[in-house]
Structure 1
């Protein structure tokens, strides 16, 4: 019943379409609307509205499409009509209408939307291989043709009702049958000729046998030659692979040698740094022993004075003249109290000095490695609680060993101090600078992402490069940058910065790299 109603409606539509009062543009608009109505797109239930792109120079046609979208829905959903502008990019297009004035860009759009679920409606396009639905004008009537294969290739489903609208489709079965009939006639002709040829072939059998024997011998020899050539080719390919593998191993070995030299240099600097720290710790231990000894002696003096005070108290009841001595003792006690206070204050100052020495690198005046490790742990805890970003900069002086070799260790120490001063002057108050070891420095940059850390690193690199260190050659630094995220721990963060520094060294030094 539904099909019957649909056919009746189509008949009425055709009656209206071919009426003299209806214009050609109206026919094309109605056709386009019905084409879309009889096409099913992928995931159609998720489509909120259908989008039709109109590529035309005909203002009347454009206006009619816009009026259609304003007055009608498509499958109970809104229809949006877009007028083509070559400067715009269009996405989620369900259908494209291209009139005969824009056919030069048809192929471009056809392949641009090749991987999309898009229906193309062309107007009198000549290349039948690329059309999907193609409008044709025959005298006063507008018809259309359908390339069903192209529509199916775009994952579009075609309603059988589309053919009922009056479209034509190539009959592949009919073409195949006609070609089969022609082929049958050709076979009969060939069989007749083959019979004649067979009679002639009987005369040539003996000659052919002799020729075949010779061919067999030649084929055997040819196979042997081909097998030999194949073996040679296989050996040549194997030799080329081995040569290529040797070249790759040679390159890897050179990289390993470079890495070993770099690690040896770092180890040498680390040993020097450890020796310096051992001397500092030894001096602190000696100072602590001396203060402890002074404290023990003072304690003994106090105990002795306390005994004297007790004796004076006993004698106070026996002798009146002891009163004057008691005054002296009180004076001494006051002095002793002052001494105790002074010693206590001195002990506090010594404790503060010991704490400062345990956190500060003596040569550079920056924080030491142990303090920096503690601060990084605190920043990681802050990140886990508040997601506050932070980054680190690992700074290494380029060719520092040559500076010590050419100018002596005193000059090397001056370079370390000057770079430390430049770092303190050109970083924020919240940034923490530390001497990491030897000629290596570490800068903790709180509340900073990778972009901010790279800006700081490049500024610092340029400032150091422009600074006069009173040497013949320029003093430069290489910097590796890494930023903390939830997938890292402290060791991995430092490893990333170290890898970036190694990359900067390999890329020619005086560089900033990030990981």
Structure 2
């Protein structure tokens, strides 16, 4: 009777706080409180406060349990409510697992198996694992109790707990039902084992057949391998025969051409002989005529000899004058060529100078805009050149410039324009070259310079910027871009190629 009065008072107190009707959460809280009042724990007198863990996703229910702890006591001791957060807490007297979190029940059941802990579940289906389990049928909440599990946890349950309106689970019936299920499972397993044995026999036969097939296939592979080796030898022999035939054909072709040529030569000789014979006859006739004329002209020769002598003298004078004119002309051409070289090339390096290179750059830009022929430039600079001059003198610096210029001449195409742009700076016009080809050329030049010996105790390297002409750019834009890329190469460590 006292239990029913306590439940009624508690429900009325909760009811006054939240609403005018008794909610499902309020009934659950009341049941849990009364379950705790009817359970005794081992060493109960040593418990300072009763710890109740709540496992629920229902925030209203959690708040109600906290309110219960603030208003009620158990055996004149405080109730401490702990909201579950997936971590184990020691010295827990009771755990309530709401139906919203029933997936955690089995885990907690075994986690606290060796603890003196009461588990209260909510509509949990596995009767073998429940201790006190709330039930809800047609909006009515009751409970069932499995005393065997409670006693296994060293908990003492009051007989009055059944008066709260619960029922006791028939453990013997559960065990009997489990035995029936176990027997059915064993029969099923026996049947499955028999099927497995049958399948194993079939599998062994199939494996045996597969092994036989493997042996056959292995023999076939060996035969194929032998045949392949024979085919390889035959192919090699046929290749040699084919090569010999081709050589014979080539020799026959050459001999045939030589025979045709000789035949033509013989025909030409015969024709030439006929022509010479005819010429000889004509010459003989002409000689007779000439002899007659010579006799006639002998008389006038003495007169003409004086005239001829005068003409020879005049011709000799003209010949001397012609030689003088030719010598003067050749000298003028040589001087013009020398002046042209001086106007186009740099004296120290032997490369083209800046003025000539700018002219060629304008021509390449015009050609690109007209024919869309790819065109790139490489602007490069000798790293730490001032240090070379300061350390080894300007003569050695000039020697380094000459050596690098020779490297550029040797490793660029005849169509490329290599120029000394100024000081230790050089420019290469790579005609008919896209950005990939020009970058590859720049990398080759960089490596060759790096690996060359310049006769000083200092590594000589170069930094290079590579740019290509595009539809919307002109010579000033591409020169500026190459200069920016060169500056980027030098500022990021030198001895490198940067292209865009």
**TM-score of the alignment, normalized to the shorter chain, above 0.5:** no
Larger Rg belongs to: 2
Per the shorter chain, which TM-score range? 0.3 to 0.5
**What TM-score comes out, normalization by structure 1 length?**
0.36
